[in-house]
Amino acid sequence: MVLFAGISRGAIGQVTTAVDSLKQDSLRHVTLKARQTDDLSKQYDVGNLIHDIIHPHKAPDSLHKSSGITIIPNIAANPTIGFQVGIKAVAGRKLGDDPTTFMSVAATSASITTKGILYFYINHNIYTPGNKWNFQGNIVVAKSVTPDFGLGIGKQVSGESAEQEALANPERKGRVLNSVYYNVREKVYKEVAKGLFVGAGASFDVRKSIDEKDTSALTPYKIYNKEHGFSNGQYSANGLLFNVQYTSRDNQNRAYKGIYADVGFRVNQSWMGSTKNAVQLTTDFRKYISLSDVNPETVLAFWNWGSYLLSGEVPYLELPGTARDGAFRSGRGYTSQYFKGTKFNDTEAEFRFPITRNKFLSGVAFGSLQTANDEQGTKLFQTFQPGYGAGLRILFNKATRTNLALDYAFGRFGEKGFFLNLNESF
């Protein structure tokens, strides 16, 4: 808006220039909006590929609205699970007519892997019209095979007892724990300001029939349980969740710009059936910077995730660590829980860029640094372990920006692997 009084010739010239500038800005905005719409219409995803295979000579229906539901075979591979087969469905849509409403997403999957893992889950992240409420939750039922590489960040120890050295496991000797796992989690957020939410909920994590094939008493799992008063066979970690969340991301599946931040407390309580009481602080911060107006999917993305035990005791398999974030995506290059401690932090950066003009293929390059404490005196942020790699993205559903992600990553101690998932790691 331009306000003026006592107009002189120079002022009239300034006002005219300002009005012309506003007109040009408005025209650029309309042109850019039209260009973005045209770009979407010109994008090519797996749905277009299937159409071209099944109906090679039939022109696409310009009035057809792309579905927000993607159903695919759930084929994946990474060092934690081995090779996986199953079926997966991912859905995304905006609820209501308010254009400011964030996209709601949900997913479900059932799968089996070559390492004997059976896994079923349903999760959701739903925003009501106008973002007044946000519901986040999941249900997991699994026959799990969990790798165990000890406590800490893989730092060499000296002068410690045999038990302490086995617990730290500086050589990263791998062991396996079999168990049956159940998780039910639900959080409800209320928007209190634009993009700012406060929420509360509960999580129930129950693990039974835990079986470690290694009969030695000097395994990290048994040593930790003995020192912290947990049973080797089963446990429950049930608690209340309290969170504050801020988001300005333009898309929940694959953001081009914006910020996501979440700070929360988890309070495990014995009156809820938890084996031990505990208080944990969790932090999750993500920043997305688009580097191009013409190709907005050219993005620098940053992520920091951490979890810190403030008081009490946490079961060994519930300790924060590699790939223990909500989506199990952190620390590519290492198997799940390769590093862990009562306090853990992971920092990642990723460069995302289009390869083909129709956006069907894109690429990424990424790196990460993990740090954790241990029980031999190593403090958080004292020792870091790197991971790095690159990947290919295939546009699966342009309506929801769903990508098929194929990554190959490297870490230390000879760790490396192929990671295949839907959507970005963060």
For the chain, the distance separating the N- and C-terminal CA atoms, rounded to the nearest angstrom, is 39
User: What percent of the chain has pLDDT above 70?
Assistant: 86
Diameter over CA atoms, the chain? 93
Give per-residue burial for 249-271: e unless 16+ CB within 10 Å, then b.
bbbbbbbbebebbbebbbbbbee
User: What percent of the chain has pLDDT above 90?
Assistant: 60
Confidence at residue 398, expressed as pLDDT on a 0 to 100 scale: 87
Q: What is the mean pLDDT of residues 395-413?
A: 90
pLDDT tens across 370-394, in order? Answer: 999 998 889 999 999 999 999 999 9
Residue 408 has pLDDT above 60, yes or no: yes
As given in the structure block, the two tokens for residue 422 are 């839907």
Confidence at residue 26, expressed as pLDDT on a 0 to 100 scale: 42
pLDDT tens across 134-155, in order? Answer: 999 999 999 998 889 999 999 8
Dist. CA 332–CA 389, nearest whole Å? 8
Confidence class for position 112, pLDDT limits 50, 70, 90 = very high
Residue 323 has pLDDT above 70, yes or no: yes
Burial label for 188, CB within 10 Å (0-12, 13-18, 19+), is: middle
CATH number for the domain whose boundaries are 148-422: 2.40.160.50
Please state the domain extents for the chain.
Answer: 148-422
Whole-number average pLDDT of the chain? 86
pTM of the model: 0.83
As given in the structure block, the two tokens for residue 186 are 């639900």
The residue ranking higher by pLDDT, 320 or 418, is 320
Element (H, E) at 47: helix 46-54
Confidence class for position 39, pLDDT limits 50, 70, 90 = low
